[in-house]
Structure formats: structure tokens, C-alpha cells
A and B are shown apart, each in its own frame.
Chain A
Amino acid sequence: MSSEPSDEELLAGMGAQELSALDSLYSRYGGAAFSLAYQITSNRETAEEVVQESFFAAWRGAATYKPERGAARSWLLGIIHHRAIDMVRGRNARGQTVPLDEQLPIASKDDLWSAVKQTLDREEIRRALVTLPQEQRESIELAYFGGLTYPEIASRLGVPLGTIKSRLRLGLEKLRLRLTEMSAPEPEAR
């Protein structure tokens, strides 16, 4: 049994104003957070600002975190993503107007998917993304990492709005299916 506190336990610690819990959470996800912020903003100083503000927002909002909204990792990286996108779009951080616990929909309670998420590593996720049709992958990357809205993607690629909406939706559905298949246990040899 692992003696390391879970992410949810660290958030609970932060909610109780334990700086050590914040330090531990940063140790776990500071690198991933900065990488995400930098890939979206393409500027180290801005990425630092995003990460600093996001961890501070997580510190202040930890007491309001609800596990039914999703895993703590998702909650934290979701804050990073929102703030980085806001920076790219020139908006003040949306987190100041939208309570942090309302930024993500309630988790789907899909036990299979919960297990899938825990076992996937970055290489597996990358491999799954590469299997998508090129136009779906491109649209998803422009949205998630480029910070573009779907009308902006449609304009950039010169395709109708409906086409982009479909690509984003179908691409994510396909990605979810692919990741679930990749995580399925190998059938026993007879």
C-alpha cells in the first residue's frame, strides 16, 4: 500500500491551509502544469504567471473542491488550461468570475473510464491521438493547445463552422474509444 497521500488528500490538506500539501502538489504537477501553460502561451514568463496564479487559485479554492466534479489532477490541470487560454485570448482570468468548482462538469461516474485514466501514460495518449484522422487531430490541437475558438479554427482552415464542431466532437469520441481499447486487458491465450 502506498504511503504517499493521494491528490485528493493533498487538496484536503491545502483546504486546511497546510503549505506542505501545496508543496507536494506542486512537486507532482508543477512540471506538467508548466509544460501545458508554455505549450499554449509559447512564452516562459507568461507560463510562469499562469502556473503561479493557478496554483494560488487552487490553494484558495481547495476547500471548495468536490470529488464528484472529477479527479484532483483534472481539476488542477483544468485551472491551468483555462488560465492559459484566457491569457492567449487576452482575457482576465475567468477563474475570477466563475467559481472554480463550476468550471468542470460533474464526472460521468464511468468506472471503466476512471480505471482507464489511471493506467494511461503520456505515450499511450500520444499514440491514441495519432490514430485519429488528420483533420480531427489538427482541429483538436488547434483548440486545446492553440487556444482558438471553433469559429477561429473554421476561419483558419477555411471550412464551415458545422464541420469544425463535428471534427472536435467526433475526434474526442474516437480518442476516448481508442484509449479505452488500449487499456483493455489482453484476452487470455487458450
Chain B
Amino acid sequence: MGEDGRASGRACGYDDDTVSGNVQRREMTGGITMTCETVEELAGAYALDALPEDELDALNAHIGVCPRTHLSLQQLAETAELLALISEESLPPPSLRQRILDAATADLEVPIPAPVLLHQRSAHRQNGTRTAGFRFSRMIWLPAAAALAALALGLGIWGAGERAQLSQRTTALHSNQTVLTALAAGATVVQLPGSGARQPALLVQPRGGGAAYLVADAPQLPDGKVYEAWYINGPNVALAASFAGSASGPQVIQLSGPLTNARAVAVTIEPKGSTTPTGPKILERTLS
């Protein structure tokens, strides 16, 4: 400790030159001078999580390089943690437990069935004639439907009662060759757990980049309401897609970019034209 009561650079193993030690410290902590003495003064605020962000960053930077133990930080933090036990008792809703378990379940690795190899639609089909090309093109839907069925059953997307209608549902998707081709080529598939009893959806990220897709069985909404998918990256939230839902089964919706653009994806119900998420969240997933 220096003659004026301020901590010297020696305390932290810097050069004997106090000035250069402080300059080093100042540079490391983005403009805030953080000495050992300052750390001790702030120990109580630190323990109670009451430091402004810039001071917290500076303090963390200091203790990251300071050889002193700063025991007070540890002891006061241990004391503060006990305050968590004296909160006024409030009962959580019974559904909260299941939501937590559902989120953790969705986070577990789910084996994806190997997609069936798809054939390209023949360019030589002749209308009304059972040519080899026509037969070839008819073969597209069977493997595609089988691939999607395997995917759905493997991931448990649709309930047992709905499996009987699977062929009807996959018919709605038969035009989405892009997604089916992406699945065949080894796309990444991420389950998007729903809240409560809502069915989960899927995110499909084609290998090699490009826009991702959302596969969701979302019921049609009343007039004036839409589903909106969001890419969330820290404090930044960007609209990734807007869709109305469908009475005829699952839809495939193209999102505004690859999943690498987001740290989390969520789907909410919004008024048509909404540009910020304000409505109830029905699906969400943290990606990183």
C-alpha cells in the first residue's frame, strides 16, 4: 500500500514503477482504474451483484491477473448467497417443472433417421402417358413421403392419433422439394420445443449454408393474427418469417437466413405486420 493509502502496482506483481503499474491496469480495464484497494472497497457491491457493468468488467479483469487472493470477495459473496434463502415464499405454477423438463428433453441428442435418397424429377414426363419419365417422377413422392414419415416418427413430432393421417399431411408438403432434398443431403435438424401441450416444430438447416426452414404444424389463426419466427442474437431480435398457420397440416416456412445468424429461435403470435415480438411465445430454442 502506498503512502497515500492507495494500492501500489507492487501488490499485483507489476514493475516497481507504481505509475507504469497503474497505467497497465488502466489499459487493461478499459479506462477504469482498478487497484487492489478499489477492489476491496467494491467487495460488498460485487458480492451483491450491484456493480455497474463497466466496473464489474474492470474488477474481473483485475482479479484475473492479480496474484492477491482478495479473500473478501469470496467471503462476502458466500455471505450474500445466503440471502437467496430468505425470499418471501411464492409457489411456482405446477406447469413450470414440466416446461423445464421438456426443454431439457429437447436438448438431448435425438437420432435422425437417415434420409432416403431422392431422385430428381424427370424433365421428360409426357402428360397422360405412362412413360418411363412419368413412372420415374411418381417415384419421387413415395420415398419423399417415407423420408418425412421416418423423420416425423423418429422425432415423435406427431402424436399416435395423427400418424394415421400422415400420408394426408405429407401431401401438403409434397411441393417442398427443397427441404426434402436438403434432408437427403444431410441437413441439420433441430427440434423446437413447444410450450405446454403444443407440438414441437423442426428447424432444418441445409448443409453448406443458405436459408433455414421451419417445419411446423401450426393451426390457422384468427384474422389479423400471424405467427412470427424470430432470430435472437443477444439484445438483437430480427424477424425471420411470418406465416398464418394452416388447417391442413404441417407447413414448411423459409426463414430469412441460416441458423448461424441466431443464438436462439422463437415463434410468437403477433398482430399482422408486427415488427417486434410482443405476443405469447409458443416455440423457442437456444441454439448456442
Binding site for B on A (CB under 8 A): 17, 19, 22-23, 26, 30-36, 38-39, 44, 47-48, 51-52, 55-56, 59-60, 70, 74, 77-78, 80-82, 85, 91-92, 96-97, 104-108, 110, 113, 117, 120-122, 125-126, 129, 140, 143-145, 148-151, 153, 162, 164-173, 175-176, 179
Q: Please, which residue of chain A has its CB at the minimum distance from the CB of B85? A: A122
* B contact residues around A91 at 8 Å (CB): 53, 235
* A contact residues around B263 at 8 Å (CB): 96
Most buried by A among B52, B70, B86, B235: B86
Assuming the contacts A30-B96, A122-B85, asked whether A108 and B49 have C-beta atoms less than 8 A apart, the reply is: no
Q: Is the CB of B49 within 8 A of A150?
A: no
| CB of B172 closer than 8 Å to a CB of A | no
| CB of B222 closer than 8 Å to a CB of A | no
| CB of B123 closer than 8 Å to a CB of A | no
**Chain A to chain B contacts (Cβ below 8 Å), 17 pairs:** A19-B104, A19-B108, A22-B104, A34-B92, A35-B88, A35-B89, A39-B87, A52-B103, A56-B104, A56-B286, A59-B103, A107-B78, A140-B48, A143-B49, A166-B44, A169-B41, A172-B43
| CB of B76 closer than 8 Å to a CB of A | yes
| CB of B2 closer than 8 Å to a CB of A | no
* A contact residues around B103 at 8 Å (CB): 52, 56, 59
Q: Is the CB of B286 within 8 A of A35?
A: no
Q: Is the CB of A26 within 8 A of B100?
A: yes
| CB of B74 closer than 8 Å to a CB of A | yes
CA distance A4 to B13 in the complex (A): 47
Q: Is the CB of B74 within 8 A of A32?
A: no
| CB of B197 closer than 8 Å to a CB of A | no
A21 CB, min distance to chain B CBs, angstroms:
10
Q: Is the CB of A34 within 8 A of B234?
A: no
Contact of A23 among B71, B72, B85, B97 (CB under 8 A): B97
Q: Is the CB of B100 within 8 A of A52?
A: yes
Residue-wise interface mask of B (234-278) relative to A, using a CB-CB cutoff of 8 A (1 in contact, 0 not): 110000000000000000000000000001000000000000000
Binding site of B, secondary structure by majority: helix, strand, loop or mixed?
helix
B53 CB, min distance to chain A CBs, angstroms:
8
Q: Please, which residue of chain B has its CB at the minimum distance from the CB of A75? A: B81
* B contact residues around A129 at 8 Å (CB): 83, 86
Q: Is the CB of A143 within 8 A of B100?
A: no
CA distance A52 to B88 in the complex (A): 19
| CB of B79 closer than 8 Å to a CB of A | yes
Q: Is the CB of B91 within 8 A of A59?
A: no
* A contact residues around B41 at 8 Å (CB): 162, 165-166, 169
Q: Please, which residue of chain A has its CB at the minimum distance from the CB of B77? A: A105
Q: Please, which residue of chain A has its CB at the minimum distance from the CB of B60? A: A102
Q: Please, which residue of chain A has its CB at the minimum distance from the CB of B88? A: A39
